[in-house]
Amino acid sequence: MATHRWRPNYRRHTSGLLLPDRRIVDPLRRGGEQHGLPGYPCCCPSASSCGCTCSACSDTAPCCWRVDIAGMADNTCSECENFNGTWYLSQDTAGGCTWSVRIPTGCTECDSVDLVLTVHLDGSDYKIKVEMVDDSDTVLHKWEKNYGEAAPDCCGLSSESLPHVTNSGDCDSSSATCTITAADNNACEAACAGGCDACIDGDVPVLVQATISGLVNDQCDGCSNGNGTWTLEYMGNQVDGCVLSNACLWRYAADDPDLCSNAAGGFGSCSGISVEFELKQADATDYSWALTVSHNGCTESTVCYGARWYRQTTPGGDIDCKNISIANDDWDSSNSIWSGCDPSSATATVEALA
């Protein structure tokens, strides 16, 4: 199956988002089947902080960097302080000199950005820069330090302060600070804090991966376009999804290919595709989960039209969302939405990319 990404411009990543190849076990199915993350060429082979290489470092390079940001202030976005804190960046490609993490809107309530650290040679000078880059590849914020003609000892850097260079976009970084530290690989997870009421400590993975196979048409056309592996980005807490209201929501959406473009009367003209994963604390003890695939939008209706998988659990506490792994057998039910697509013989899985 092809791997479909949230946006076509995941820079630097030609085969999908590159994250450490970690084994994830469903926290609700201890001892159950483990699901790896195929297609993510891991560049972090050991637990030590310096098992990787970069030609611009004087010796070995960290597989993971810790980036601490403080002092981000509001501009046109009123939640810019959510960028402050600690972020962990994984090496994009083995032997490469860029590390990054996605910070989606759901984590900050501001525009999504990639936080990117680069060690590079600029003329005769070695430099390390940290940038916040938007989805049009514009550098919004930048911190950079010049190390002169001597390559930096990347693995020896701890709480290294980078001078501020660039400030633009919907947040104000003019007084913000940025420090970097070579980090242990075990700490290198793409997650944000305080994001979801149903998760332990609110911590959520910024991305989850959904894999669907065997989906066919009911009264819709193009349902086979829902088959594949999809990377869903965190959209936020208390968001209304296709199935659950006021839920934590991860979503992939695109204008192509079409699913259910022939929706029946009352929907108008429908196009595109949307894949959503929703999680909600339904009551004091029960948690609801849903995976849906549908069109991306219709001209005359906001109702989803496609198929869904549903699950309800009583885990005895909040969910360890950073380690979510749902196998096909874990779903309680699957059904067509408005007789759109038929999931009766299909399979669907969901895993956190952390």
> Is residue 223 packed enough to be buried (19+ CB in 10 Å), middle (13-18) or exposed (0-12)?
buried
Instruction: Evaluate whether 281 touches 198 at the Cβ level (below 8 Å).
Output: yes
> Is residue 23 packed enough to be buried (19+ CB in 10 Å), middle (13-18) or exposed (0-12)?
exposed
Q: Which of 153, 155, 145, 92 is nearest to 122 (CA)?
A: 145
Q: Which of 83, 143, 72 is nearest to 108 (CA)?
A: 83
Instruction: Evaluate whether 312 touches 278 at the Cβ level (below 8 Å).
Output: no
Coil, helix or strand at residue 145: strand
Helix/strand/coil percentages in the chain, nearest 5 = 10, 45, 50
Sign of the CA dihedral running 271, 272, 275, 281? negative
Write out the two tokens for 35. Answer: 């699901």
**For the chain, what's the residue count?**
354
Write out the two tokens for 334. Answer: 């699957």
State the amino acid at position 274 in one-letter form.
Answer: S
Sign of the CA dihedral running 134, 137, 139, 145? positive
| Omega cis (within 30) before 38 | no
Q: Which of 353, 350, 253 is nearest to 306 (CA)?
A: 253
Instruction: Evaluate whether 211 touches 326 at the Cβ level (below 8 Å).
Output: no
Specify the pLDDT at position 261.
81
Ordered per-residue pLDDT tens for the chain, 354 residues:
333 323 322 332 222 333 333 222 222 222 222 222 223 333 443 445 688 999 999 999 999 999 999 999 999 999 999 999 999 999 999 999 999 999 998 888 899 999 999 999 999 999 999 999 999 999 999 999 999 999 999 999 999 999 999 999 999 999 999 999 999 877 787 888 767 888 888 888 999 999 999 999 998 899 999 999 999 999 888 788 888 888 999 999 999 898 988 766 666 778 899 999 999 988 888 999 999 999 888 877 777 889 999 999 888 778 889 889 999 999 999 999 888 899 999 999 999 986
User: Measuring CA to CA, how many Å separate 142 from each of 163, 249, 352?
Assistant: 9, 30, 29
Model pTM greater than 0.95?
no
Report the alpha-carbon distance of residue 296 to residue 189 in Å, rounded.
30
